[in-house]
Amino acid sequence: MLTIEGFLNYLRDERNYSPMTLQSYGEDLKEFELFFRNVENQISWETVDSDVIRAWMEAMMDRGNAATSVNRRLSTLRSFYKYALRRKLVNRDPAHKLQGPKKKKPLPQFLKESEMDRLLDLKMWGDEYIDVLARTLIITFYSTGMRLSELTGLDDKDVNLITREVKVTGKRGKQRIIPFGDELFEAIESYRQKRDEDIGKQSEALFLTEKGMRMTGNLVRKLVKMSLSRVSTLKKKTPHVLRHTFATAMLNHEAGLESVKKLLGHESLSTTEIYTHTTFEQLKKVYKDAHPRA
């Protein structure tokens, strides 16, 4: 006869599972047993089918359980029926082919346009080299959406101020050209002048430390975090947040998904599509705030 107690004894005696794990498995199975007994009195462990298990998962989701929690309980049930099938206590495994709910991918974090406007206001910055450098880094990320590694790899020759284009080398050495506008043009022009006056041109790199060395990823992260802290309360304050901010701003201003994909250097359109979820969430919030019947 198939029982929860028999399964837990097997896990304890033959598989050496810890008391905490046994307790967790026991609670999951008792919860499912209570569910199918309430569905129909005649159902037993031996006669449970996949429809009953699906209904259980749906009920958990309706109660607000996270996908991870539902999948963990489904995993317990799979282990239970595998054990039962091996012991010939059931004729079939109703949990075998069932798929649990997909985990929600967290939406990318990004800064609001008003926050970026405040951050890039010249009045927010001093005249020291480190201030000019930090502001130019922020504008470069925000204007191009490039990755951190792409930015630190930039040389002076990669930036063409006449055509207003920057050549970046992305993943697996793939290169792409990103156009930019007046703001980044002016920022780079001012930065280069300040750099050459204060630091001197000791490297082919575009962005230099105060000692004249190429900027490392860690130094850029530190400057970006300090800069974003001035206007944002986001937990993450990284160069990647600025990449997300660039993509979100482009889509909010009616750029095509394919164009944004090329600018970001994504291999697949599905990678870029996550930003459409971000903009749609924004749209829902605007609707809820603005519509009198929302």
Tens of pLDDT, residue by residue over 215-251, are 999 999 999 999 999 999 888 899 999 999 999 888 8
- pTM value is 0.63
Residue 275 lies in a domain: yes
What's residue 78's pLDDT? Answer: 95
User: If DSSP codes are grouped into helix, strand and coil, which group holds residue 109?
Assistant: coil
Mean pLDDT for the chain overall: 90
The pair phi, psi for residue 247, each rounded to 5°, is: -65, -45
Residue range 78-132, pLDDT digits in tens: 999 999 999 999 999 999 889 888 877 666 788 988 999 999 998 889 999 999 9
Query: In angstroms, rounded to a whole number, what is the distance separating the alpha carbons of residues 79 and 81?
Result: 6
45 and 155 in a single domain? The answer is: no
162 and 281 in a single domain? The answer is: yes
Could you say which of 67, 86, 105 is where a domain stops?
Answer: 86
pLDDT of 40 over the 90 cut: no
Q: What is the CATH number of the domain that holds 200?
A: 1.10.443.10
User: Mean of the pLDDT values across residues 60-82?
Assistant: 92
pLDDT of 288 over the 80 cut: no
229 and 186 in a single domain? The answer is: yes
Query: In angstroms, rounded to a whole number, what is the distance separating the alpha carbons of residues 140 and 137?
Result: 5
126 and 75 in a single domain? The answer is: no
Q: Is 176 one of the catalytic residues?
A: no
User: In a 10 Å sphere around its CB, with 0-12 CB exposed, 13-18 middle and 19+ buried, how is residue 75 labelled?
Assistant: middle
Candidate list 87, 171, 277, 284, residue with the active-site label: 171
Residue 242 lies in a domain: yes
181 and 257 in a single domain? The answer is: yes
What's residue 101's pLDDT? Answer: 86
The number of folded domains in the chain is 2
What's residue 294's pLDDT? Answer: 53
pLDDT band at 286 (very low <50, low <70, confident <90, very high): low
Range of the domain at 67: 4-86
Q: What is the CATH number of the domain that holds 45?
A: 1.10.150
Q: Is 147 one of the catalytic residues?
A: yes
Q: Is 243 one of the catalytic residues?
A: yes
Percent of the chain topping pLDDT 90: 67
pLDDT of 284 over the 80 cut: no
Nearest to residue 170, comparing CAs of 192, 148, 186?
A: 148
Q: Is 172 one of the catalytic residues?
A: no
Q: Is 275 one of the catalytic residues?
A: yes
What's residue 38's pLDDT? Answer: 87
pLDDT band at 13 (very low <50, low <70, confident <90, very high): very high
Bridge partners of residue 208, in order along the sequence: 214
Candidate list 25, 73, 135, 147, residue with the active-site label: 147
Candidate list 78, 118, 221, 240, residue with the active-site label: 240
124 and 235 in a single domain? The answer is: yes
Q: Is 240 one of the catalytic residues?
A: yes
